[in-house]
Amino acid sequence: MHFFELAEPASLQEAIGLLGDSGGRPVAGGTAVMLMMKTGVFQPERLVSLRKIESQYSQIRLDSEGNLRLGAMTPLRRIERSADVAAVAPVVTAAMRRLSNVRVRNVATLGGHLAHGDPHLDLPPVLIALNASLVVASPSGERTMPVEDLFRGYLETALAPDELIAEVIVPANPDQRAAYLKHTTRSAEDWPALGIAVALTLNGGTVETARVAIGAATDTPRRLTSVETMLIGNPHNDAVLQTTGDATAGEAEVHSDARGSAAYKRELIRVFTARAIRQAVEGDRA
C-alpha cells in the first residue's frame, strides 16, 4: 500500500471542496477503493472520507408521491433489510441476497456502488430497469440524472471529479412487476457473466410498458431497447419471448473474457432475457 493523506470532512460541501482540482478522491465504504489501492492500480495522494457525513445522507424514506428516496451513503445491508425498499422495489431486496457478501454489504454504500462504474455490479441494471434517477451534488449545486445516463464506459461515469451522488430516487409504480437474474459461469460467488433486469406492466395478457437492462456482459450497464420495443403491446407468450431473446443477440456488444466467449455470452443473454421476462410476468410483484 502506498502512502497517502486522509481527510475526513464533516459536511458534503466541505467534501466537494476537497475533490476535483484539490486532488482528493472520495471514499465511502472503501471496499472497491481499498482493492484498487492494494493492487496499485489506484494511487491517490489524498483520500476524502465521506464517513463523517454519512448520517445525513443515509436516510431511506418515501416522499410525498410514494417514491423511494435512498441516501447515497446508505450501506447496502440497510437497503436489503428496509421494509420501505421491500414495499416499493422488492426486486432490489431480492437482488441484494447475491450481491457480493454480507461483509461487503455491511460497509459498501449505494453511492459508491454506482459511482464505481463497474459493469459487473448488480444494482445498475436493476435501477435502470426501474427507471431510477440520481441527485448529484457539486460546488455549483445539484442536478438530477437518470441512472442509465451515469455509465460512460468501463469504470467511467458521467460524474465530474468534484461531483458526488447524494441520493437515488426509485419511482413508485405499484403495478410494475420486475425480476433480476444474475448468472455466474464459474463459482457461484464469482462476478457475474451476465445480469439481466426486467421491469414491466401488464394489461391482461399484453405487455404495456417494459424496461430491460443488462449488466456484466457489456462494457457498461445499459438498456436493451429493441427487446423493450418487441415486448410492448405484445402478449407475453413463448413465441414472443423467443423473438425478444433473439433480438438481444444483435443489440448488445459483448466481449470474451475468462467467464465466457462473446458468442456464448450472447446465447446466455438470449436465454436469460426470456427467463427474466417470464419470471417478472409469472412472479409475484418481485
Partner 1 sequence: MTGGSTTTVGHSFPRMEGRAKVTGQADYIYNMRLPSMLHAKVHRSPISHGRIRSINTAAAAAMPGVHQVITGEDVKAVLPEPYYGPAFHDQPILALEKVRHFGEPVAVVLAPDPHVAETAAQRIVVDYEELPAVFDEVEALTSEAIVHEELKPAGTFADLKHLSGKRDTNIALDFHLNHGDADKAFAEAAHVFEHTFRTQQTMHTPFEPMVALADVRNDRAEIFSSTQSPSFVRFELSRLLGWPESNVRVKTSHLGGGFGAKVYVKVEALAMALSLIAHRPVRVAQTMEEQFYTITKHPNTFRIRSAVDGDGRITGRKCEVWWNGGAYADIGPRVTQKSGFTAAGPYDIDNIDIDSFALYTNRPPAGALRGFGIPQLVWAYESHTDIIASELGLDPVDFRKRNILRNGRPQAVGTIVEDGEFEAVLDGVAQRLGWNRPFDKGSGTKRRGRGVAIGFKASISPTTSSAIVSVNADGSVIVYCSTVDMGQGSDTAMAQIAAEVLDVPLDLIRVVNPDTDVTPYDMSTLGSRSTFHMGHAVQLAATDARDKLRAMADEVGLPEGSNAPLPELFIKKFGMRAGTVVGAANYKPDYAPPNYETGQSPNATPFWMIGAAGAEVEVDTETGQFRILRLVNVCDIGKPINPEVVETQISGAAVMQLGFTLTETMIIENGQLTNPSLADYKIPGLFDMPDVMENGFIEAEQHNGPFGAKGAGESGTFGVSPAIANAIADAVGVRITEMPITAEAIFRALREKAGRPLEDV
Partner 2 sequence: MSGHRRTITFTLNGRDVAADIGVHQNLTEVLQESFGLFGARESCGQGLCGCCTVLVDGQAVTSCLSLAAFADGSTIDTIEGLADGDTLSPEQEAFIETGAFQCGYCTPGFILMTKQLLDENPEPSDEEIMHYLSGNLCRCGAYAEIVKAVRLAGQKRKA
- Contact footprint for partner 1 (CB under 8 A): 1-3, 40, 183, 185-191, 256, 258, 260-264, 267-268, 271
Considering only residues 102 to 141 of the shown chain, the ones binding partner 2 according to CB under 8 A are 102-104, 106-107
89/254 with CB nearer partner 1 = 254
**Smallest separation (angstroms) from partner 1 to the CB of 190:** 5
Distance between CA 153 and CA 172 in Å, rounded? 29
Task: Show the binding pattern over residues 158-197: x = contacts partner 2 (CB under 8 A), - = does not.
Answer: ------------------------------xx--------
Distance between CA 98 and CA 80 in Å, rounded? 11
Instruction: Specify the amino acid at residue 159.
Output: L
**Smallest separation (angstroms) from partner 1 to the CB of 179:** 17
* Burial grade of 182 (CB within 10 A; 0-12, 13-18, 19 or more): buried
For residue 186, the partner it binds in partner 1, partner 2, none, with Cβ less than 5 to 8 A by kind, is partner 1
Using CB under 8 A as the binding criterion, the count of chain residues that bind partner 2 stands at: 29
Three-state SS annotation for 17-82: HHCHHHCEEEECCCHHHHHHHHCCCCCCCEEEECHHHHHHHCCEEECCCCCEEEECCCEHHHHHCC
DSSP one-letter code for 246: H
- Match 457461484 to its residue by C-alpha cell: 188
31 lies in the binding site for partner 2 (CB under 8 A): yes
* Burial grade of 44 (CB within 10 A; 0-12, 13-18, 19 or more): middle
For residue 7, the partner it binds in partner 2, partner 1, none, with Cβ less than 5 to 8 A by kind, is partner 2
Q: For binding to partner 2 (CB under 8 A), which residues are involved?
A: 1-8, 27, 30-31, 34-35, 38, 46-47, 49, 51, 77, 97, 100-104, 106-107, 188-189
